[in-house]
Structure 1
Amino acid sequence: MATSAPKANLKAAPKAAAKEDAPASPKSKKKLFLIIGAAVLVAGGAAGGGWYYTHQGDSHRAGKVEAAKVPIYITLEPFTVNLQPENGDQYLQIAMTLLVHEQSQVELIKLQMPQVRNRLLMVLSSKKASEISSVEGKNKLSADIVTQANLPFAPQTPPQHVSGVYFTSFIIQ
């Protein structure tokens, strides 16, 4: 019996070596192809995303910067006007700033400042103290000022683009 045991061990060893040297099974080849295919897809997606970011992303970002215009403020000299009488003489002392979005508008409005001030004086002096003392009255006055400031300075010329007015001082006496 001692002679048969070593023969069993010798026969088992060549079978194990034969399994290691044998070609890979079809299942392991499928896994290899799947892994390589997934790697190619990921690399392609990364390359496509990189191309999009470098080529298309710049134009989208540039468009956003151009769309967001920086506000420009035009500070006007204070106004003092007589209000429409209700309970005796009343005065309005007001300082304001106009909001525009283009430097060309600033130059145009400054060039026509006497006409702008005249229009605003007419609007302010047409009001009663009771009309402009509330928040709603101030909002209405602000809208009236924007409307007057946007009127063209001469016939057949485009209107200005004043988009807001901010009161920096507002005193009724």
Structure 2
Amino acid sequence: MSDAKVEAAPKAKKNILLFAVIGLLVVLLIIVGGVAAFLLTKSSDPAADEVAAEATAHDDAKKKKKDHKKKEEHAAVFEKLPQFTVNLHSEDGDGILQTDISLELGDPKLAEKIKSLSPKIQGQINKLLRGKTMAEVKAPDGTDKLGKEIREMVNKILGAESEDEGVISVNFTSFIVQ
């Protein structure tokens, strides 16, 4: 019986040693994982993060205030252009486009500038309209594309630099294609 006790003691020591090693490995894995997670989520400079967040918030507040102020300054201003009647090209002969255009302006002061540049604006719009075909004009999105092209062209003539300056939208108040 004494031999059985002697064999049981080393086996118990091996089990305790095995559990200790496994426990130590688990603790090390938890520590390494925690450090890795901390390093991945923490930025290199928390002060820089705070400054960037404050700057972004400040810029957003300024932009909202500016947009709100612009909306309060004036109601929508429209400038009606003279009626345009141009020949269109098509496979089965020439067609005619007759349209009335009103420009929505971002600034009421632009109405005077448009009046002073009216011959140049009308000439460019006539040239643009004459270059269109019946198929382009009659397409479901044809007036949208045409309005965008006119807007870009007039804003270029006016020297508008951003999207909210110059002509905001082009509105066709009548549009007849024959």
TM-score for both structures, normalised by structure 2: 0.56
Please say if residues 105 and 169 of structure 2, whose CA atoms lie closer than 8 Å, have aligned partners that are also in contact: yes
Q: Which has the larger radius of gyration?
A: 1
Among 74, 80, 94, the residue aligned to 1:75 = 80
Question: Residue in 2 aligned with 1:151?
Answer: 156
Contact residue 121 and residue 157 of structure 2 kept, 8 A: no
Determine helix, strand or coil for the equivalent of 2:151. helix
Name the CA distance, whole Å, in 1 between partners of 2:66 and 2:110.
22
Q: Is the 8 A contact 2:90 2:135 kept in 1?
A: no
2:116 equivalent in structure 1: 111
Does the 8 A contact of 1:105 with 1:161 survive in 2?
Answer: yes
For residues 22-70 of structure 1, give each alpha carbon's deviation from its aligned partner in whole angstroms, at most 9, with x where no partner exists. Answer: xxxxxxxxxxxxxxxxxxxxxxxxxxxxxxxxxxxxxxxx977523142
Structure 1 residues 1-173: aligned runs within 5 Å: 66-68=69-71, 69-152=74-157, 158-159=159-160, 161-173=166-178
- Structure 1 SS opposite 2:154: helix
User: Is there any run of 5+ residues in structure 2 with no aligned partner, and where?
Assistant: 1-64
Task: Tell me the secondary structure at the aligned position of residue 163 of structure 1.
Answer: strand
CA distance in 1, matches of 2:90, 2:67: 50
Across the aligned residues of Structure 1 and Structure 2, the Cα RMSD in angstroms comes to 1.9
Equivalent residues, number:
108
TM-score normalized with structure 1 length: 0.57
* Aligned counterparts of 2:167 and 2:152: Cα–Cα separation in 1: 8
**Overall identity of the aligned pairs, in %:** 30
